[in-house]
Amino acid sequence: MSSPQMYVASTTAPVNIAVIKYWGKCDTKLNLPTNSSLSVTLSQSDLRTHTTAACSPTFTENRLYLNNEPQDVSGARQQACFRELKALRKKLEDADPALPKLSEHNVHIVSENNFPTAAGLASSAAGFAALVRAIADLYELPDSPTDLSRIARQGSGSACRSLFGGYVAWEMGAAADGSDSLAVQVAEASHWPTMRAAILVVSAAKKGVSSTSGMQATVATSELFEHRAKHVVPKRMAAMKKAVLERDFESFAALTMADSNQFHAVCLDTMPPIFYLNDVSRASIRVVEEINRVAGRAVAAYTFDAGPNCVVYYEEANEALVLGALRRYTAGVAGWEAQEVAASVPEGFDVHVGESLREGVGRVILTSVGGGPVKTGESLIDAQGLPRALSK
């Protein structure tokens, strides 16, 4: 039984994987990016953060639990999200004295991911999106996802894109206070619902350079970076939006692969150089290239975030070819159970290109484009305001 003074709201939020990459901030405090970016939101059936937010006058401090482990909330990023959301609630309360004074209470957040954190998938985007969405629901804020993206961005840049489903742009904006650095939906998942993603999770990936410190090293030392941010990305953003709106997979693929490569190129142009791709990543690229070669056109597109895991986008119609080839190298690993696809490649496929995948991939995740955050009645918080899983 929950205490009469406790208010609770729960949501789930998705992971997104950028196809035009965010890398570099011009304001590290406000998380203002040096260039706009664009991502595909992935289905929450496969990858999601489930978060419950609660507030109560009995809570003596703000708290956050992730997968039942208490987390530090004193960091500037968490504090910014709490502060900004409370300020919005305070405005409502000031305008309507009948509203309970939730803005005066501390907040407890309990979060769980439905995917292994060890997989090295950037989970901070889903995490901060869920946190902001859950608190906004708790506070019954009327603000739109785009309004809220301004807050989620301050938690983790790419989190702003996880407030929407489908195809999402984060427009860098121009204002010094970040008020116009916001996420907007380019298209719903239903506009292009045949988009699929296969994630090759590289086993035993060592912890590399964190994206937060890595991107600022790039801004500070890469001589190529500014050219990318100023002159290359704006063109690619326009071209990618067009590709999405026209469901033009070949253009989508060419831009996705080129932009992943360029992101890793500016990482390599950083001093000291940052390497996220390893020999397994390279073999993944070669397999995708070979798939496209035998298909006679781009039917698959690789992209890599700040780690060695390969995300392969493809359309449902080409599933047999794309997954058949990927499965041929990774048939023994977890993740293929649910998928009925033969591990096979067509005649003429050079099977030698992907041999490194055989020992390097530890798990596959098969998913698709999906929707944005979803409100849920399933609370992760018990009557004392603590993780329900711990009180069982």
Residues in contact with a second copy by CB under 8 A are 221, 223-224, 227-228, 231-232, 254, 257-258, 261-262, 264-266, 268-273, 275, 278-279, 282, 285, 289
Q: What minimum distance in Å lies between the beta carbon of 191 and a second copy?
A: 27
3-state secondary structure of 308: coil
Residue nearer to a second copy on the CB measure, 64 or 266: 266
* Residues forming a β-bridge with 200: 310, 364
In angstroms, the CA 128 to CA 109 distance is 11
Q: What minimum distance in Å lies between the beta carbon of 377 and a second copy?
A: 47
Q: What minimum distance in Å lies between the beta carbon of 281 and a second copy?
A: 9
Residue nearer to a second copy on the CB measure, 206 or 392: 206
183: enclosing H helix or E strand: strand 182-187
Residue nearer to a second copy on the CB measure, 48 or 264: 264
- Three-class DSSP labels, 126-174: HHHHHHHHHHHHHCCCCCCHHHHHHHHHHHCHHHHHHHCCCEEEEECCC
Structure tokens at 103: 């803005």
Residue nearer to a second copy on the CB measure, 231 or 392: 231
- Report the alpha-carbon angle 228-22-270, nearest 5: 55
Residue nearer to a second copy on the CB measure, 30 or 285: 285
Q: What minimum distance in Å lies between the beta carbon of 390 and a second copy?
A: 36
Q: What minimum distance in Å lies between the beta carbon of 28 and a second copy?
A: 23
Residue nearer to a second copy on the CB measure, 199 or 233: 233
Q: What minimum distance in Å lies between the beta carbon of 202 and a second copy?
A: 12
Residue nearer to a second copy on the CB measure, 129 or 280: 280
Burial code (b: 16+ CB inside 10 Å, e: under 16) for 290-317 equals: bbbebeeebbbbbbbbbbbbbbbbbbee
CB neighbour class for 358 (10 Å; exposed up to 12, middle 13-18, buried from 19): middle
215 closest CA partner among 73, 76, 81, 27: 27
- Biggest alpha carbon distance in the chain? 73
**How many CA atoms lie less than 13 Å away from 125 in the CB half-sphere?**
29
In angstroms, the CA 186 to CA 239 distance is 12
Q: What minimum distance in Å lies between the beta carbon of 236 and a second copy?
A: 9
3-state helix, strand, coil in the chain (%, to 5): 40, 25, 35
Q: What minimum distance in Å lies between the beta carbon of 177 and a second copy?
A: 31
Residue nearer to a second copy on the CB measure, 102 or 202: 202
